[in-house]
Structure 1
């Protein structure tokens, strides 16, 4: 059930008796701006820590405990051209609690908690608490720096910087950057907070055994104002470069990280979207894939080899862990697998097995309330969504020729290798 609550505010209700919990997700969505990414990430940290009603992390944790172990969190993420600040809360459905005594049901208590977080933050003297702000800025700084400790993440980020040179919103982490963070003040972040509340598109999604009337009644307690939201495409469309960009760095790693970036200009609204999903699964997206079989298993040239497809940026990336001296051989074998698919060399049995694995993964998602809630954002951003039956039909229809057609649209754009140095605990 999809409802327009106010201008720029929507509600998706997924009624279900399958789960013993009720899940709530609130997405604040705005177009990516390089100057705002870091401030929104810091805002998420500050809001998650305390409210006027629960001024410390201990007080907030105690309240969650009193709500029979409810979970709560705030995170930030990037989807194509959009930046999302996401609040989540999950509460037990009290009909499964034989000793529940409180007059107010747990769903309404969860919605009240989110209302407190969003609309009544800890603002002594009209500004964020200095101690809380300083601590959370330091925590975010530590989090951003620690990302580079994950060498595969670091290699992938450097690859994105090569792919999207001159486009900082696409190259930057959803957490922002340390330079901007160091200059942010509490006043800056307070301005970001008011901007978000007033202007972001708001997508609320609820899953569980609740009625639309209950959800709407709880939402009516939130002082959300109507907002004008431009219907901006979430797809980042870009022009491929004429030359392959090459980068490499030295780092104290045992195994080199070789990442390859390709343009694959097929987005979620493209008729070939499902064929692109299948292509990625055949190429490197599953343990059945050509990369896993031929680079890792047969040639024994990689500790891991996989691919991932982003239908919001029109990109395909390959990730491998290798011995640095094997870089050229690995690049050659990866190219051979792509060339084979471009030539239509795909066994019907492998295609059938990959499609079966994709279907199993899709069906397993039906058992995850969080994944079902997350799917609603993609549907909202793209104005499109397939039922399980429609998805299954589209998957079944993908042929070898479809995969070949997609493969022929894949073009190498960047290579990046992180290698060398003294061995550490990588």
Structure 2
């Protein structure tokens, strides 16, 4: 089993930020000499679940900084993955565990990233780095391994790079052909999988596997479609009675740039009077639904990325501790102007964390009820979606509000 290379033997690596800050330490993962990656630098405050974060498509095009002080001590395994590959552009930690130990581990974190071609940086003061990102906001950075470029040249490279604003990264992470999904969670999950009784169409903007697992466990047969699937095709599926609900997934980049999906969702929602389709969006899917009904989105200063984000549900009156990973948010005034109802509020900064349409079974949340990693406080939102799909089979009971409000 591959163990991490001692830091004293690893090549030097630097992280240069667009604000002029430069952090120098040791490389791990892909240590190819003169390797440079330029991407947006963001941080995640979760104490666990680094493998799930590394493989989350929502991190595509980003250098991820982990605030937990020791990373890699449980290695990696083939189960705790959220997609088929590592999506982060680079990985920054305070300390890389020299040895990993876990009965499920099949490889070290460093070797895992090396195979994926992703460079890492270990040995810096991540607290100082996070303070910069928190104060100045997420910014572009250049992660260089054993590079001949000077600090000033790397800083300039970061400054010259484009930002996440206007970046459509969904095309690089979603499926290109339909996929039928039937996998449930692993043997340690509190799972009571039900026979498939409902059929869900999932638009893949970079979907996490654990979302699909939650749906299949609740008796859903899931067909994953490319994010750009035309509205006519989706409406045709429901008109023929071949599906019961529509799900819009998480994903990376600027939601306003995913124009094809916004257009599709707008047409589907506009048909709600004759064809009320139970629709559920998570994270980017939440933002795309908001844009489809006429709201606006904006970029947060440094985003919400962590597993302990408090959210208040105005429907149930309960506070949920949630897992979140997003750099954009929905503008509340523009959302309310569409007639939508804001159902969830982030308690740290008052941003929109969920909404629904009062005249259709359409709802969404900004956070991740499937967690992975994170708490399971909000996993009952999947039950609310299932309730809405079952109600659709009984004419006149398509409202989503009762299902949402009745959940803890």
The TM-score with structure 2 as length reference comes to 0.29
Larger radius of gyration between Structure 1 and Structure 2: 1
Q: Which has the higher contact order (CA 8 A, sep 6+)?
A: 1
Between Structure 1 and Structure 2, which shows a larger proportion of strand residues? 2
Between Structure 1 and Structure 2, which shows a larger proportion of helix residues? 1
